[in-house]
Chains A and B, each alone.
Chain A
Amino acid sequence: DAKTTQPPSMDCAEGRAANLPCNHSTISGNEYVYWYRQIHSQGPQYIIHGLKNNETNEMASLIITEDRKSSTLILPHATLRDTAVYYCIVRGSNTGGFKTIFGAGTRLFVKA
C-alpha cells in the first residue's frame, strides 16, 4: 500500500471548517483514498473515501487533487465531538479485501 503523510496535530475553532491535509505521492491508479477517525478509546469510524473525484457525504467532503498525490478532508462545521485522530489511508480495491495500514494520523483538537 502507498504511504501517506499527515501533520501530527491541528487545532480548529468550534463552528469553523477543519481542513485536514494528506500527501500520498506514490498512490497508484487503482488505489482509493480512505479517511477514518478514532475518537478516544473507541473503534475507528469510517468517514469517506474516493478514487479521483471529489466526494461529499453527511459527515465530510473529500477533495482529491487532479494528480491524486494529495487530498484534503473537510469537516464543514467542526464541533467539540469531532476531536479525534484522523487517519488518511490509501488502499487498493478488489473483491478480496485488503488490510488497512494505519499511520500515525492527525490529532484534531476542536476548541470552544
Chain B
Amino acid sequence: NAGVMQNPRHLVRRRGQEARLRCSPMKGHSHVYWYRQLPEEGLKFMVYLQKENIIDESGMPKERFSAEFPKEGPSILRIQQVVRGDSAAYFCASSPTGTNFNEQFFGPGTRLTVL
C-alpha cells in the first residue's frame, strides 16, 4: 500500500505567481489534512477536507489560499500571488474512513521557495 504522495517535492515560484501543491492520500483514505511548517518552526494546521467538502479551514489564511479535494484525483492546495512569506514546507496527511480514531499518515512534503 503506497503511502501519502505529494508532488512536486520542491517548487520554486517568483513573487506574484501561483503555486499548486498536490496530495494523493493513501488508498482507501478519504480524509485529507494540510499543514504548513515555516523554517525552524513547528507544523501548523491549515485545512481538513473530505471528498468534495471542506470540513475545517480554520488554519487557512483568509486570502490567496484555497484547497479542494475533488471526487476524483488528488487534493490541491493552491496559493495565488505568492509572497516570500509563503516559503515553507507544506505537508499533507490522510486518515482512514470508518474508524473511531484517526491515525494520520503524512506525506514527504512540498518545499515551496518564493524568490
**A-side interface residues toward B, CB under 8 Å?**
32, 34, 36, 38, 41-46, 49, 87, 93-105
Contact = CB atoms under 8 A, between A and B. Distances in A.
A86 to B, nearest CB: 12
16 contacts: A32-B101, A41-B89, A42-B108, A42-B109, A44-B43, A44-B91, A45-B106, A46-B105, A87-B42, A93-B100, A95-B100, A97-B31, A97-B50, A100-B35, A100-B45, A104-B42
B56 A99 contact: yes
Given A95-B99, A97-B55, A97-B95, A103 B42 contact: yes
Interface in B4-62: 4, 31, 33, 35, 42-45, 48, 50, 55-56, 58-59
Contacts of B105: 46
Contacts of B89: 41
B104 interface: yes
Contacts of B56: 99
